[in-house]
Structure 1
Amino acid sequence: MSHPHPELPLPPPLAKGGVRVTPLGGLGEVGRNMTVIEHDGQLLIVDCGVLFPEDHQPGVDLILPDFETILERIDDIQAIVLTHGHEDHIGAVPYLLRHKRDIPLVGSMLTLALVEAKLKEHRIKPFTLGVTEGGRERLGVFDCEFIAVNHSIPDALAVFVRTPGGTLLHTGDFKMDQLPLDKRLTDLRAFARAGEEGVDLFLTDSTNSEVPGFTTPERELSAAIDDVFRKASRRIIVACFSSHVHRVQQVLDAAERDGRKVAMVGRSMVRNMGIASDLGYLHVPDGVLVDVKKLDKLPDDEVVLVCTGSQGEPMAALSRMANRDHRIDVGEGDTVLLASSLIPGNENAVYRVINGLMRLGADVVHKGNAKVHVSGHASAGELLYCYNIVRPRNVMPVHGEWRHLVANGELAIATGVDPDRVVLAEDGVVVDLIDGRARIAGAVPCGYVYVDGSSVGEADEDLLKDRRILRDEGFISVMVVVDSSTGKIIAGPQITARGFAEDDEIFSQVEPKIVTALEEAARKGTTDTHQLQQVVRRAVGGWVGGKIRRRPMIIPVVVEA
């Protein structure tokens, strides 16, 4: 297997007749999926998603792919093909369309409905092209055939891209549930037909490549959910992704069987389930769904709430319930069902919410203590089937952390793919398909782009480092007034500290050290205020590091008079 190198140069111009694949997200991480395919001077984008921040990225709302390498060629983009409606595949579309609003969006009916609702909030009216499985569309030089795949959201599609320079099969996110709730199977016959025609590069979902065997069918969860409903003595609160139509359908069906009413909580949940219902993907039993405002009039044992917050998001409904900051007052006898898996990096936040709910007296049912969720991604056994059916000439694992990509590559080799034709790449690593052979050609800049409040791309690692220091180490400001001609102290130092357990009086111990350091600088003829500020910073930093064992943010202010 070929490996990327941190010192890869910029790629050379694409050879005539070749196909270039540039992942701008989703490789080496779970989220931010975006792949750019180039041929004959034209670009096709597959997915454009976001990554959600972790604890070491305080204040960040979303993380976008780095569009910089394609913005100068934005008129060459023929379309954005969206494989399905999850945020990590469609969430960044509004931010790309800000640069050019008429880039066509291509996807299934549900996917386009979800992205259109998102774009409406950004006041963007997109140009869309709806497609269905089995359909083909010519998008510039790219001849795209769409293939049904099963996932944890309805209407997911793989895309088989034909170009004069080679063929590519991109699975998107998929699994091979043989008993899907919506009866929509992954179309392995279409995969086989693509394989018979010849797949030069197979880009396949790696998320569950380390998991042996086959992913559990969604249908098997119905009994476990029914069991939760039977045992619940008061209200049931179900937390899941706001796009997980299948799971919400199971909850609605269980509520009908148990004689309960269901209310949706959370703006994204209400919006997405409304769209799914209007389009016929969610079937709401008569009389089951009620407005959340009417719950107070119902007995507790007839109430089900479906809300967001299964990943411990601090502002989501479930977290606010755990913090007693929500109109729904969780208490003794309530049952909370977390009907989702843990996204890597969210473990602490989720367990914090679970502990908070249990402290309030709720019974919390989650994947760790009951079989209440299955993955939406193919496990190793399913991936092996796909490799044997498709028989690709080259393989490029996508969608996953590095360990997932490596495991997926090893599965490909086990089925007979030449190790030299399994390309392991990370975000920004450019892969060229030339004369039927895929090779790494270089790399383009591909950093994180942070959405921070109303700003996009203005926050950087230095800013996040400052925030982490403020959060973890505290803050000290020092005000000193000096004579403009001699540099001698006229007033101060005045010290203000925040984020320390120690009493403020302890900081009086450093004042003589600041005075001594400034007097020494004045004797040496230092009068520049910037240099004097550095003198103060060193004096305070040395003392606080030795005395309190902390490395706070230090803001010295030296004023001339």
Structure 2
Amino acid sequence: MSHPHPELTTPPPLPENGLRVVALGGLGEIGRNMTVLETKGRLLIVDCGVLFPEDHHPGVDLILPDFSYVQDRLDDVEAIVLTHGHEDHIGAVPYLLRLKGDIPLIGSTLTLALVEAKLKEHRIRPFTLAVREGQRERVGAFDLEFVAVNHSIPDALAVFVRTEAGTLLHTGDFKMDQLPLDGRITDLRAFARLGEEGVDLFLTDSTNADMPGFTTPELEIAPAIDKVFRHAQRRIIVACFSSHVHRVQQVLDAAAKAGRKVAFVGRSMIRNMGIAADLGYLHVPDGILVDIKRLGDLRDDELVLISTGSQGEPMAALSRMANGDHRINVGPGDTVLLASSLIPGNENAVYRVINGLMRLGAAVVHKGNAKVHVSGHASAGELLYCYNIVRPRNVMPVHGEWRHMFANAQLAIQTGVPERNVVLAEDGVVVDLVDGHASITGVVDCGYIYVDGTNIGGTDEALLKDRRILRDEGFITCIVVLDAATGKIASGPEITARGFVESEEIFQQVIPKVERAIEEAVANGVRDDQQLQQVIRRAVGSWVGGKIRRRPMIIPVVLQA
């Protein structure tokens, strides 16, 4: 098994008979999926998604893959292949196409419709090629064949890539639901056929690799949803991903059976479900949908609201309802159904929303207390089936945190893939397939690119650290005016503190220490403002750390008069 090492350097030039794989996101994390393939000097990009920020990213809206690896080679990019329409696979496409707007996008009909709606908001008109399972397309140095896979969104595709250097099968996100709502199963016959042809490198979804057995079929959660509808007293508010067409379909069917009307809440939910309905992927019973503006015309026990915010996103509709900051006032008798799983890292945010809703009197039904959600990813049993069917020569686990990818690697080894042919890589690590063997050959720059309001890429870890300090530790300003001629203190020190429980009087104790520190520095010939600011910062920081046991941001100001 190959492991990335800190001492990895820039990779050597790719051999003429080589296929290079560089993941710019999605390895070691849930989100930001983007993989770059290279052969014969040409590039193919598979997926281009976003990662949603966690608590330690204050002020950040989205996290993008680092495009610097391909930014100077965009003319070499043949196309961007999109495996399915989830945000962690398509959300960064607008930001990449800002750099070069004519890169072709290849994907299924629904996937392209969802990404085109996003691009319209960015005023980008893309070149697109809609494909379906079984279709084969030649794109420069890459011969692509698409395979149907089942996931929590319709129209998901795996992609088989034939090159002169070897073959690669990328599953995208998938599971092996044998009773899917749309009747479209993962095409294991195609997997077997490709395995017979020969899969040199198998990139497999790792998200549920540490879960034993098989993922529960979508069909089995329908009774749990029906039970929620039977027992609800007033309104039912369902929160799920705005792209989870299958889950929305189940809620629409349950609402129709219960004689309730449905309203979509949240801009992305309204947009995406409109697209899915127009394309025939969502079947809306006649007369069931109502505009959110008409809610006042209906009794509470006649209503179902389908909302965004299942991951506790602070600006999403459900979070605002929990905070009392939404036109929909949640109260006693309402039932909130969280029809989604927890993305790792979002647990605290989701539980805050649940607590807020329950405090308002709502009954909250979620995966922890009812079978109201199933995963969209293959569990260990399904992955074992895939390895035994495909019989790949080399395996590279993708899409997951390190624990998921490690578990996936162990499954591959158990099915007979030689340990030396199982490559565990992380974002930025370069994997080369040469003469039928995959190995790690180097590393490229691959940091987080933050979308912070209108700024893209300007936010860095130093700024986020400052924000975390301001949030967690507070700040202190210390203003001192010095006589420009003598260097003696003419006014101050004047101290102001924010973010402390203690009253500001306690900070008067540090003033003599600051005065002595300045006097000693001036006596030693220090007259530069920046050096004197450092003297003040050390004096205040030392006192606050010892006296109050805090490490606030300290902002010293020195004025010469």
TM category (shorter chain) comes to: over 0.9
- How far 1:446 moved relative to its partner? 0.6
Amino acid at match of 1:108: S
Partner of 2:224: 224
Q: Structure 1 residue 51: deviation in Å?
A: 0.4
* Cα displacement (A) at 1:6: 1.3
Q: Which residue of 2 aligns with 1:523?
A: 523
Q: Quote how far apart the aligned CAs of 1:364 are.
A: 0.2
1:253 aligns with 2:261: no
Output the CA distance in 1 between the equivalents of 2:352 and 2:529.
47
User: Hey, what's the Cα distance between the residues in 1 that align with 2:101 and 2:141?
Assistant: 21
In the superposition, the TM-score normalised over structure 2's length comes to 1.00
Q: Which SS does the other structure have where 2:277 is aligned?
A: helix
* CA RMSD, Structure 1 to Structure 2 (Å): 0.6
Distance 1:267 1:478 in 2: 46
**Equivalent-residue separation in structure 2 for 1:183 and 1:271 (angstroms):** 25
**Given that residues 4 and 440 in structure 1 are in contact (C-alpha distance below 8 angstroms), is that contact kept between their aligned partners in structure 2?**
yes
> For residue 271 of structure 2, what is the amino acid of its counterpart?
R
CA shift digits 1:315-366 (9 cap, x unpaired): 1110111111111010001000000000000000000000010011100000
- The equivalent residue for 2:393 is 393
Secondary structure of residue in 1 paired with 2:309: coil
Instruction: Give the distance between the partners of 1:413 and 1:487, measured in 2 at CA.
Output: 72
- SS of 2:280's partner is coil
| Structure 2 partner of 1:174 | 174
SS at match of 1:337: strand
Q: Any idea what SS the aligned residue of 1:294 has?
A: helix
Alignment of 1:119-518 (within 5 A): 119-518=119-518
- Give the drift of 1:69: 1.0
Amino acid at match of 1:257: K
Task: Give 1:484 deviation, angstroms.
Answer: 1.6
Deviations 1:397-449 (A, max 9, x none): 00000011110010001111111100000000000000101011111111111
Query: Separation in 2 of the partners of 1:84 and 1:486?
Result: 70
Q: What amino acid maps onto 1:246 in structure 2?
A: H
Partners of 1:53 and 1:59 in 2: how far apart? 9
- Bigger drift between 479-488 and 532-541 goes to 479-488
Distance 1:531 1:36 in 2: 47
The equivalent of 2:16 in structure 1 is 16
CA distance in 1, matches of 2:192, 2:346: 37
Give me the whole-angstrom Cα distance separating, in 2, the residues matched to 1:521 and 1:383. Answer: 67
Residue aligned with 2:30, SS: coil
Does the Cα contact within 8 Å between 1:484 and 1:527 map onto a contact in 2?
no
Which whole-Å CA distance do the structure 2 matches of 1:74 and 1:248 have between them?
A: 38
CA distance, structure 2, for counterparts of residue 249 and residue 200 of structure 1: 39
Render the CA deviation track for 1:283-342: whole Å, top value 9, x for unaligned: 000011100111111111110000001000111110111111111010001000000000
How many residue pairs are counted as aligned between the two chains? 561
Measured in 2, the distance between the counterparts of 1:525 and 1:206 equals 62
* In structure 1, C-alpha distance between the alignment counterparts of 2:517 and 2:41, rounded to whole Å: 63
**Counterpart amino acid of residue 350 in structure 2:** V
Corresponding residue for 2:77?
77
Counterpart of 2:162 in 1: which secondary structure?
A: strand
CA deviation profile, 1:526-553 (whole Å, cap 9, x unmatched): 1111111111111110111111111000
Q: CA deviation at 1:507?
A: 1.0
Give the corresponding residue for 2:533: 533
Instruction: For residues 158-179 of structure 1, give each alpha carbon's deviation from its aligned partner in whole angstroms, at most 9, with x where no partner exists.
Output: 0000001100000000000000
Cα drift, residue 124 of structure 1 = 0.6
CA distance in structure 1 between the aligned counterparts of 2:486 and 2:85, rounded to whole angstroms: 67
CA-CA distance at 1:485 after TM superposition: 2.8
Take 1:6 and 1:174, find their aligned partners in 2: how far apart are those partners? 32
Shift of 1:273: 0.3
CA distance in 2, matches of 1:97, 1:348: 34
Give the Cα–Cα distance (whole angstroms) in 1 for the partners of residues 486 and 451 of structure 2: 47
**Letter of the 1:501 counterpart:** V
CA contact (8 A) 1:487 1:526 kept: no
Q: Give 1:486 deviation, angstroms.
A: 2.2
Farther off after superposition, 152-161 or 477-486:
477-486
Residue type of the alignment partner of 1:344:
P
Distance 2:69 2:101 in 1: 18
Separation in 2 of the partners of 1:65 and 1:108? 23
**Aligned residue number for residue 33 of structure 2:** 33
User: 1-side partners of 2:67 and 2:298: how far apart?
Assistant: 50
Contact preservation (8 Å) 1:10, 1:444: yes
- Structure 1: how far apart are the matches of 2:442 and 2:186? 34
| 8 Å CA contact retained: 1:486, 1:527 | no
The CA deviation at 1:72 is 1.0
Task: List gaps (5 residues or longer) in structure 2.
Answer: none
Secondary structure (helix, strand or coil) at the match of 1:372 reads coil
SS in 2 for 1:559: strand
CA deviations over 1:469-512 (Å, ceiling 9, x no partner): 00000011111110123211011111111111111111111111
Partner secondary structure for residue 264 of structure 1? strand
d(CA) in 1 for partners of 2:236 and 2:500?
42
Query: Could you tell which deviates more after superposition, 517-526 or 176-185?
Result: 517-526
In 2, the alpha carbon distance for the partners of 1:86 and 1:20 equals: 26
What secondary structure, in the 3-state scheme, does the structure 2 residue paired with 1:31 have? coil
Question: Equivalents in 1 of 2:450, 2:498: separation in Å?
Answer: 27
Name the amino acid aligned to 2:461: E
> Secondary structure at the residue paired with 2:505?
helix
* AA aligned opposite 2:172: G
Q: 1:262 corresponds to which letter in structure 2?
A: V
Within 1, Cα distance between the matches of 2:6 and 2:523?
A: 49
Q: Distance in 2 between matches of 1:439 and 1:527?
A: 58
Letter in 2 for 1:150: N
Q: Distance in 2 between matches of 1:201 and 1:525?
A: 67
Matches of 1:69 and 1:288 in 2, distance apart? 49
Between the aligned partners of 1:485 and 1:194, the Cα distance in structure 2 is: 83
Number of the residue aligned with 1:66: 66
SS at match of 2:497: strand
The C-alpha deviation readout for 1:97-149, integer Å capped at 9, x for no partner, is: 01100000000000000000001111111110100110011111100000000
After TM superposition, what 4+ stretches of structure 1 lie above 2 angstroms from structure 2? none
Q: Give the counterpart letter for 1:75 in structure 2.
A: D
Answer yes or no: is the 8 Å Cα contact 1:263–1:306 preserved in 2.
yes
Give distance in 1, aligned partners of 2:511 and 2:545: 15
Counterparts of 1:454 and 1:521 in 2: how far apart (Å)?
43
The answer on whether the counterparts of 1:85 and 1:153 sit within 8 Å (CA) in structure 2 is yes
1:540-559 aligned within 5 A: 540-559=540-559
* SS at structure 2 position matched to 1:375: coil
Q: TM-score, normalised by structure 1?
A: 1.00
